[in-house]
Amino acid sequence: MALIGQGVLAIWNGIKPEAEDDFVAWHVREHIPERVGLPGFERGRRYVAIEGQPKYFNFYETKTAADLTSAAYQARLNDPTPWTKSVVAHFTDTSRTICDVAWSTGVGEGAVIAAIQLETSIAAEAFQEAMKKLVGEALTAVPGIVGLHLLRGHAAAGPADTVEKKLRGVPDKLAAWILLIEAVGLDALRAFRSQACSDQVLTACGASSVTPGIYQLQFALTKAELARA
């Protein structure tokens, strides 16, 4: 489906092997519910890699990107729970970007997602319009594609020196642009990437760098579901 709201926090991370089981449990039982409960946060999702690195990709949909620098969110970042402190210290290769939703289209949620990091040297408005014309209009080109979303990353990941950020030990990477492609299955996603959304098509839109990854959905939680729990 189209994304909920106009803001997204996109996160890639690896996790040290000895902490992976704890990471999975923490994310489902504490962390995603905690985040989705914050003002402006509407849905959180976590995926695991089929192709690409790092192993995990997750993102939060918010009413606006401003919710990702709000006082309420910063308070959580500066007061992590004991479980958060234990798990985040084992993160590796973290990329964390606050994004605006440039455009989003589709119906429903897909079982798999392509999370493609893009860079471009052309003007932002021209790039997002070219992507919408060549990629966004191709939503029905392959049966099984249920959502297409283009995100524009902010130049900064958020508050510079939060307690939680210090736990990760090294600066977070950032993504300039992110294209998300949701599909019912891997065959549909690969067919779409090889045809209507190949690297050559993305280059024709103005992309100067394409870093792909394919991920399978593990867990998703909306604010409405959290309220009913």
For 66-88, how does the pLDDT look when each residue is reduced to its tens digit (9 = 90+)? 999 999 999 999 999 999 999 99
The pLDDT of residue 159 is above 70: no
State the average pLDDT over residues 208-227: 97
The pLDDT of residue 10 is above 90: yes
Q: How far apart are CA 198 and CA 194, in angstroms?
A: 5
Best CATH choice for the domain 7-228 from the list 3.30.70.100, 3.90.400.10, 1.10.3720.10, 3.40.190.10: 3.30.70.100
State the average pLDDT over residues 101-112: 94
pLDDT band at residue 156, thresholds of 50, 70 and 90?
confident
pLDDT given for residue 169 in this prediction:
85
Give, as one character, the DSSP assignment of residue 135: T
Rounded to the nearest 10°, the torsion over CA 30, 216, 139, 194 is 150
DSSP 70-124: SHHHHHHHTS--HHHHHHHTTEEEEEEEEEEEEEEEESS--SEEEEEEEEESS-H
In sequence order, the β-bridge partners of residue 13 are: 56
- How large a percentage of the chain has pLDDT more than 90? 88
The answer to whether the beta carbons of residues 52 and 210 sit under 8 Å apart is: no
pLDDT given for residue 155 in this prediction:
83
pLDDT given for residue 157 in this prediction:
64
The pLDDT of residue 149 is above 70: yes
pLDDT band at residue 158, thresholds of 50, 70 and 90?
low
The pLDDT of residue 145 is above 70: yes
The pLDDT of residue 193 is above 70: yes
Q: How far apart are CA 24 and CA 14, in angstroms?
A: 12
The answer to whether the beta carbons of residues 178 and 97 sit under 8 Å apart is: yes
pLDDT, mean over the chain: 95
pLDDT band at residue 1, thresholds of 50, 70 and 90?
low
If one compares 152 and 1, the residue with the highest pLDDT of the two is: 152
Domain ranges of the chain: 7-228
